[in-house]
Structure formats: structure tokens, C-alpha cells
Structure 1
Amino acid sequence: MMFNKLRQRKVPGTWNHILQQIGMFSFTPDKFRVMVEKHHVYMLLNGRISMAGLTTKNVDYVVDAIQDAISSHPTPSA
């Protein structure tokens, strides 16, 4: 559900790791700090978040937080 919503909203990134990894994924420190401090989406200090905490009621909020964190701190081009 999260993978599909991220893709539908065209949030930058491939997001394939959500389907390939089991249980968790990670963000860069700047991105996860925005999610914690601004959106109160809590995770470990290394940016890892438990996918088990996602529900149909909160997935849109988390996707919004991810989208905002990415737009607030875009990854520099190589």
C-alpha cells in the first residue's frame, strides 16, 4: 500500500526497497529528522522505521511526511 501511494504521488525515488526488504527501510539523517520533528513520525536515530506500524488509517499521513521530507531536503545530483 505504501509503495503504491508513493508511486501514485510521484514521490522521487524508485521505492523498490519497500517491496524487497523485510520489515524496515531507511532515510538519510536530514530526511528522517524532518519526519520526526515536523510530522511526529518516530523512528530509530539511524532513520529506520517499522513498517508494521503502518495501517490504512495512517499510511497517507506517513506518505505525506516522506514526500515533505524529500522535497525539504532533495538529494543532490551526481
Structure 2
Amino acid sequence: MSGIVVVYELDQRVAGSVLRVHAAPTAPGAGPERGPRTMCGKDTFAMETATWNPSEHPDSWCPPDHADLACPACQAVMGED
């Protein structure tokens, strides 16, 4: 799962509250930096990059503590639907 970054879509009404967890490809030529869009097409600008590294966890791209918040569309693209 190299080239994938996990990003959190945050609830702007509640500081630090995660609404959804998305997968995003890394930006071309930017090393581990996230690209501009998630796998489901959302803009990553206002999202927070997670410390979870999918390449270190081949069993799941999504952190287990937020598995219930994983974006269904990103899961489908990642082959975990």
C-alpha cells in the first residue's frame, strides 16, 4: 500500500473530532505528502494527515481505532468493501 496517505475529515464544530477517515494518494514528486484529492474525490486541503502508515499495515489502510469511520467509497477503491 505504498503511495497511500490516511487523512481525517474533521468536524469543524467540534475541535479534533473525526467525521470520516479517507485514503489519499501521495502527491506526485512530493514524497509522503498527500495529494489534492482523496480516493473518493474529496479535497484534502482542510483534512488532517494521520500518523497511520498503510504501507506498514498491509492488512488495512484504515487505522483500527477509526475503522467505523472509514469512508465507504475509499474502502471500495482500496478493495476493502
TM-score by length of 1: 0.28
Question: Normalized per residue, which structure has more helix?
Answer: 1
Question: Normalized per residue, which structure has more strand?
Answer: 2
